[in-house]
Amino acid sequence: MRACLVVLTLLAASAVARAEVAAPSVGRHTLTLGMIGGGGHLAGLDLGGFGPNLEVALGSGRWQYFTEGGAMIVSLGGPGVDTGGYQVRGGLGARWIARSLQFDHSAAVEMTLEGFTAVSEYWWTGGGRLLRPEVGVGVGWQVRFLDNLRYATRMTIRIAFGPDDPQRAMTACKGACPSRAATGSNSSIGVLMGFQW
């Protein structure tokens, strides 16, 4: 296990060091409109949803510092539970262009890595609310058009971690939550697709 981790770390360090190649700077001010969808667990129940997402970013070199906000229609299901509601979410994060391959000075296919923190508020259709913070990381790829560095289309896969408090989450299922509320995972996956200009 330790040898495996050491080898993996050395390989990663080597690859990242080699990745320090000339990549075109990102636009200084960018706006990204997209859709985000995802799923995970809340108190052991299956949580999923999708909705629009808006991002405003400041760029410097290969970095972008962004704030984002969005809304989702969500569903919460499991044995004996089928409910849903709405979610609004706001967050902050930073994105790094890890790799960039340019074609004829006109476009670049790039790999992005990002980290973020956010807060979501849920309104359940049957009544009740839940405030839930999260932190996460993401990896993605984008095609950026170099005639105007702000134009890009991007897809990011995110992993987010949030507290899993079955007692608070029971506001969603009105105390009729199944016994599996003792959960095994408090992470969720999100897929974000957007257009940046």
Longest CA span, the chain: 60
Q: Is 128 helix (H, G, I), strand (E, B) or coil?
A: coil
Is the C-alpha dihedral spanning 107, 112, 117, 121 positive or negative?
positive
How far is C-alpha 58 from the chain's CA centre?
18
Contact pattern for other proteins over residues 115 through 154, marking x by CB under 8 A: ------------------------xxx-------------
- Least separation in angstroms between CB 74 and other proteins: 18
Identity of the amino acid at 11: L
| Residues 76, 7: Cα–Cα separation, whole Å | 41
* Least distance in angstroms from the C-beta of 85 to other proteins: 21
176 near other proteins, rule: CB under 8 A? no
Which among 67, 11, 75, 88 has a CA at the least distance from the CA of 39? 75
- Residue 58: both structure tokens together: 């400041």
Q: Is 11 in the site for other proteins (CB under 8 A)?
A: yes
Question: In the window 85-114, what residues touch other proteins (CB under 8 A)?
Answer: 98-105, 109-111
**Residue from 58, 157, 170, 193 binding other proteins (CB under 8 A):** 157
Which residues are near other proteins by CB under 8 A?
1, 4-5, 7-8, 11-12, 14-16, 18-19, 21-22, 41, 44, 78-80, 98-105, 109-111, 139-141, 157, 159, 179-180, 182-185, 187, 189
